[in-house]
Amino acid sequence: MRSGHRLKVTRSTTRAACSTPISKSGCDETQGVAVDRERGFVFVACSSRVVALDANHGGAVLGSIDTGDGLDNIDYSDSEHLLYAAASVAATLTVARVGDKGDFGSVAVVPTAKGARSVVAGEKRAYVIDPIDGQILFVTQTNP
C-alpha cells in the first residue's frame, strides 16, 4: 500500500467464520493461539502447557502437553503436524507431534536461552527469538 492511501475494513468485509470458546482450555491467561486448519484444532498456550481444542465440536478439550514455565508463544506446522512451544523461564522449546485426535506426542525438548519466548515454525526447523541476548536461535529437526 502506498503512503497516504487508506484501507477501510467494515463488518461486511470481515467476519469470523466460526468461534471456539478458548475459556474451555482452563488457562488463567491465554499466551498464544495456533490453528490446524485442516483438522479443525485450536491450540491454546497457557503459562506452562498447551491445550488442544476441537473447533468442530464446540471447543471440546482433546489433549494437553506440559512445556515448562514462561510459555509465551506457539506456532504450528500444518504440513508436519508439529506444534512448537517456547518457554522463556524454562529456557526450552517443546516440539510435539499432534495426532489425528488432537493428542500430543513429545518429539523433543530443546534447550534455548532464558528469556527466549517467541517461535516461528518452518519446514523441519524453527526460529526462536532471544530478546535478552539479541539473537535468533535456529533449531533444525534431525530425525524424521
CATH number of 22-140: 2.120.10.30
Give the Cβ contact number of residue 25 at 10 Å.
23
Burial of 136 (0-12, 13-18, 19+ CB in 10 A): exposed
pLDDT for the residue 41: 93
pLDDT digits over 17-63, tens only? 445 555 666 667 777 889 999 999 999 999 899 999 998 888 889 99
Mean pLDDT across the chain, nearest whole number?
83
pTM, two decimals, is 0.81
Strand partners, 125: 122, 140
Per domain, the residue ranges of the chain are 22-140
